[in-house]
Structure 1
Amino acid sequence: MSTFIAAFLFLLVFFLLMSIGYLIKRKAVQGSCGGLGVLGIEKACDCDEPCDRRKAKDAKEKARQERLAQHRII
């Protein structure tokens, strides 16, 4: 039982430190492997011409990023 409590406390402290780091830097946690970029794939949908649904989703995300950039405090 003490091993379970020690592991739980360790994870709790770990997540607390990650949360503090996020609040200070305002930067999301990123992986180090590079993801699809390592395989030479630019995006999740590797089509030459994306479908209308994908175009709408990309436009919505771009507008969201622009709004965030305009209202950024730091």
Structure 2
Amino acid sequence: MNTFLATFFILLLAVIAMAIGVIFGRSAIKGSCGGLNQVGLSGSCGGACSIQEKEECEARKREKQQN
């Protein structure tokens, strides 16, 4: 029973913390144009990344390949 109560309390604190973030108008979590979007499976931007984001992504890819 103690484990249940501890788990419930921790989850309750997490929900309260998220609610406070929403109340104070914190910016929403936004996806990136990386990840699954790069392999063509899916993505939050639907393949419509800005030119700057594409350039940054390509620069990171080149940097990873050099290492």
Report the TM-score when normalising by structure 2.
Answer: 0.44
Higher relative contact order (CA 8 A, sep 6+): 2
Report the TM-score when normalising by structure 1.
Answer: 0.41
